[in-house]
Chain A
C-alpha cells in the first residue's frame, strides 16, 4: 500500500511542476536566457553615445618671443574622448608654417608684431581650436644680458642644450642658461686663452694660459685637471677625439697629446705622426683632422676612432691654419699662397680653382657657417663668404668695416661681425639686417659673436658683459 502511494506521489511529480519550479534544466536556464534577451535588446535599443569633440591638454611655443623673420616651434596635444584619431591644422594671419601635425615650425613674418597662431584639432567630424600668441620683435632686439666680474676677450660658446659658456679674463668660466641666468661658475688657475669646448656628453674642457687642462662636469664641478703636461705650450682649444680622448696641441713642439677623458692623465703623445702642422679640428663624423708633413707633402688625416690606419688622407700643401670641415666631410684650408682650397671627403679636389684672397691679420682659419658657407677674413674686403659648392666668394664690403675677428652666420645666411668695434648683422645679399650695436660704456668693443640655429646671436664685450640678441633664422630642413 505504501509503495502504491509512493508511486502515485512520483506520478504526481511528473504532473505539472509546482509553482516557481522549472521542469528540467533547459526550462530553468530559459528563464535566465529570457532575462538576458531583455538586456541585450535594451542595449541594442540604447541610443549611440553622441560624438564628442577632441579636448586639448596642452599648447605651447618653444619661444613665445622671436625675431621678425625668425622661427619658433609650436605644439599642441589633444585627445578625443571617443578614441577617434585627432588631426591638427595650424593657421596664422601672417608667417608660414613648415611641417604639419601637432608640432610644426612657424616662420615669423618680417614685420614685428603680436601674432596669434591657431590650432584646430579635429576628430573627423567635430573640431576644437586653441591658440598660441607669439611676439615677433625687431631683429637685433636684446634678449638678455649678463655681467661678469672681469672683461671678456673670448666669444661665447653655445652648447646644444642651450647653455652658454663664457670665460672672462679673470679665469672665471660661467655657465648661463637660456635666459641668461648664471647656472654656475668655475675659476681656473689662470685665464683661458681659447674658448672652452663642450663634448657630446656635456663635459666642458678648457685650457688656461698656464697650460692646465680642465674637465668640468655639466653641473659645474671639476672632474679633473691636468697640471703636469711636460713643458707643453698649448696653442688651441682642446679637441674631443672619436675615441673619447682629449687632444691638446703644442704648436711649439708640433706635438699632439692625448689625455684620458676619465682621469685627465696623459695617455700618450700622438707619435703616429711627427711634425703636426696646425691645431687639429673635430669633424662632423667624430673624426679628428690632423695635418702633418709626411716627408713629401703636407697631408691632412681624418682620423676615426679606429686610429690612423683607418684615416682618409688629403694633400693640403702649404696649410697654414687649422682647416674647416663641412657637414659632408669636405675640407677647406688656407695655404701659403693665400688660397682657400677645398677637397671632398674622399680627398679629391672639390673646386675648379682655389679661391684667392688676402688674409687678414686675424690668426684664424676658415670657418663653416650655419648656412654651410665657408667664411674667411680679408684685410681688404672684410668678411667673405665662399660657396662650399662652387668656391665662388662674395664680400660683405658694404655692411662691415675694419673687421678683425671672425664672423658668424645664421642658418638663413645672415652674417654677424664686429664692424669698427660695433656688432652688426647683414643679410646674405650684403644689406644691413640690424645694428650696428655699440657696446655700452665703459665697454669699447664687442668680441667675436656666436650664432645658433634658433637665430639667437651671442656676443661679449670688453667690459665683462654677455649679450643675447634675437635675430632671423630658418627652421631646420624637413
Chain B
C-alpha cells in the first residue's frame, strides 16, 4: 500500500519534472551545507541534515509487520558525478532492530553499505533510490537463540527540502 502511495507521489511530481526540464540550466544538483529535508521512504520516514556540502546525516525510522528499525545513515555525494538534476551518492548506516515474530521476540542490530542516486524534481522536491547490502543480527529474548546474515536491500523515498542550504 505504501509502495503504491509512493508511486502516486512520483507521478504527482511529474509536472515539476517537466518544469525542471524546461527551466534554464542552474548548475549542478549538489546538496549544500545546511540543507535539511524530510525523507518519506518505504516504509517509514527520516530527517536528513547536511553538515557539509555533499555530506549528510539522516535519522530513519521504519516499521512493518511488528518490526521496527531505527537507523543512522551517512551520505556522501561525489561532486564530480553530480549532474544538473541527478546526484549519485554512497551511504553507510547502522541500525537498531526491534522485532516480534511468530515465535520469537527480541532485538538486534544491523549495518550496511549502499549506492544510489537522488533526482531533483524541483527546488524543494527530489526522489531517491539505492541498493545495498545489510548485515542483520537478531536475538530471541527468551531463548537467546541468534540468527544473523547478509541481506540485500533496496530503498527509495521522496524528499522535501525545508532548506536547501548554501553552497
Residues of A within 8 A of B (CB): 2-4, 6-7, 10-11, 13-15, 17-18, 20-37, 39-41, 43-44
Give which listed residue, B60, B97, B139, B147, contacts A35 with CB less than 8 A: B147
- 22 A-B contacts, Cβ less than 8 Å apart? A3-B17, A11-B7, A14-B6, A14-B7, A18-B131, A20-B152, A21-B154, A22-B151, A22-B152, A25-B44, A25-B62, A25-B69, A26-B68, A26-B69, A28-B134, A29-B69, A32-B108, A32-B148, A36-B140, A40-B101, A40-B103, A40-B104
Known contacts A3-B20, A26-B62, A36-B140; A10/B10 CB under 8 A: yes
Closest to B17 in A: A7
Q: How far is the CA of A14 from the CA of B128 in the complex (A)?
A: 10
Query: Contact at B151–A31, with CB atoms within 8 Å?
Result: yes
Q: How far is the CA of A30 from the CA of B151 in the complex (A)?
A: 10
Query: Contact at A40–B145, with CB atoms within 8 Å?
Result: yes
Q: How far is the CA of A30 from the CA of B136 in the complex (A)?
A: 10
B3 at the interface (CB under 8 A from A): yes
B117 smallest CB distance to A (angstroms):
8
Q: Which residues of B contact A15 (CB under 8 A)?
A: 7
Central interface residue in B10, B83, B136, by most chain A CB within 10 Å: B136
Q: How far is the CA of A91 from the CA of B42 in the complex (A)?
A: 75
Q: Which residues of B contact A14 (CB under 8 A)?
A: 3, 6-7, 10, 129, 156
Q: How far is the CA of A37 from the CA of B128 in the complex (A)?
A: 33
Which residues of B (17-35) have their CB < 8 Å from a CB of A?
Answer: 17, 20-21
Known contacts A4-B17, A13-B129; A22/B101 CB under 8 A: no
Q: Which residues of A contact B102 (CB under 8 A)?
A: 34, 37, 41
B95 at the interface (CB under 8 A from A): yes
Known contacts A21-B152, A37-B104; A32/B129 CB under 8 A: no
Query: Contact at B10–A33, with CB atoms within 8 Å?
Result: no
Q: Which residues of B contact A36 (CB under 8 A)?
A: 101, 104, 138-140, 145-147
Q: How far is the CA of A3 from the CA of B37 in the complex (A)?
A: 22
B43 at the interface (CB under 8 A from A): yes
B39 smallest CB distance to A (angstroms):
13
Query: Contact at A32–B138, with CB atoms within 8 Å?
Result: yes
B92 smallest CB distance to A (angstroms):
14
Q: How far is the CA of A22 from the CA of B84 in the complex (A)?
A: 30
Q: Which residues of B contact A25 (CB under 8 A)?
A: 44, 60, 62, 69, 71, 95, 110, 134, 153, 155
Query: Contact at B136–A28, with CB atoms within 8 Å?
Result: yes
Query: Contact at A6–B86, with CB atoms within 8 Å?
Result: yes
A21 smallest CB distance to B (angstroms):
5
Q: Which residues of B contact A29 (CB under 8 A)?
A: 67, 69, 97, 99, 108, 110, 136, 138, 151
